[in-house]
Amino acid sequence: MNSKNQSLLDDYVVFDIETTGLSVLTSQIIEIGAVKIKGGAVLERFNEFVNPEVHIPENIVELTGIDDSMVENAEKIDVVLRKFLDFIGDRLLIAHNANFDISFIRKASRDLGYKFSNPYLDTVTLSRFLNADLKSHKLDAVAKYYDLGDFNHHRACDDAEMLANIFFAMVEKMDRFDIKTFADLQRDMSENANPLTIKPY
């Protein structure tokens, strides 16, 4: 979304968030993890808990391993989000199921009066295009597909680092198809998209 036709080897930020639930209207961010990458290497890491000022539901604790005691002394979203926006600058963002993560960042930014308009790439959509033989495109399934080993799934910092490694593998695969820029990628996806395989609403 909003690509400026960057090269696939430019510097980007791969990120992930954990939240108290699925609704952007009623749930809060509890962790933001990100890695700044360029040319197949991780340049810098960002990892912050967020005090959501509400109780973290038991099902979220079970899923993420993050409980109230871990976030009670963390800074609130106004401080952590400002740090995150400074970290990403105007770089393109990469996330798995990006619309979910972006919607939380966008809403929090709007509520706090922060500017946020970064372009972004969804690696779920990219995986469906590149890895058409895969039945599941969940993060752990794609990591297994590329033989990238185990990781602490559903923790923002670990998910972001694993996704960076997945993206590096995807870039290598795209290079074999002579896809060098996001314009190349959008062209190939448009030309080869099969409407019958698109997930219906």
- DSSP string covering 127-176: HHHH-TT-S--SHHHHHHHTT-----TT-HHHHHHHHHHHHHHHHHHHHH
Confidence tier at 201 by pLDDT (50, 70, 90): low
Question: Stretch 116-125: mean pLDDT, rounded?
Answer: 95
153 classed as catalytic: no
Distance CA 104, CA 108 (A): 6
pTM metric for this prediction = 0.92
Confidence tier at 195 by pLDDT (50, 70, 90): low
The strand order across the sheet containing 120-122 reads 41-49, 29-38, 11-19, 93-95, 120-122
Q: What radius of gyration do the chain's Cα atoms show?
A: 17
Question: Stretch 95-121: mean pLDDT, rounded?
Answer: 97
According to the model, what pLDDT value does residue 167 have? 96
Judge contact between 120 and 95, C-beta under 8 A.
Answer: yes
Where do runs of H (alpha helix) occur along 6-114?
A: 58-64, 68-71, 77-88, 98-112
According to the model, what pLDDT value does residue 33 have? 98
Judge contact between 63 and 40, C-beta under 8 A.
Answer: no
Confidence tier at 1 by pLDDT (50, 70, 90): confident
Could you give phi then psi for residue 12, rounded to 5 degrees?
-135, 175
Q: Is the pLDDT of residue 189 over 70?
A: yes
Confidence tier at 186 by pLDDT (50, 70, 90): confident
Distance CA 185, CA 179 (A): 6
Judge contact between 61 and 87, C-beta under 8 A.
Answer: no
Higher-scoring residue by pLDDT: 193, 190:
190
